Amino acid sequence: MVDSEATPTPEPPSSKELKLAMKAFRKRLKLTCLDDESRMGYGATSSGQRSSVVAIEPPHQYSRAVWQELVNQGKLKHDGGGLYSLADS
């Protein structure tokens, strides 16, 4: 006999947690792009190439459920392999 109260379903992430996760994701994406652009060949005296980074691994301080909920809301896109990108890009 299975007791339905013994295995509670996890609560969905709060809106505050989702907002903080999106902020952390955008910051990590921005820093990753800046790091990519700082390599040799991207400077003001070079051809001026932009970063080609479009997807990153999300910050680990948030659970997978948070990232899945942001995908469900259409704010992020899952690109496979644990990588996510902004949905509007």
pLDDT in tens, 58-82: 999 999 999 999 999 999 999 999 9
Residue 3 lies in a domain: no
* Average of per-residue pLDDT across 27-51: 76
Residue 48 lies in a domain: no
Indicate the Cα dihedral angle 83, 38, 50, 80, nearest 10°.
Answer: -10
Predicted model pTM: 0.78
Per-residue confidence (pLDDT) for residue 45, from 0 to 100: 60
Total domain count, the chain: 1
Per-residue confidence (pLDDT) for residue 5, from 0 to 100: 59
State the residue range of the domain holding 32.
15-36+54-86
CA 45 to chain centre: 32
Residue 14 banded pLDDT, cuts 50, 70, 90: very high
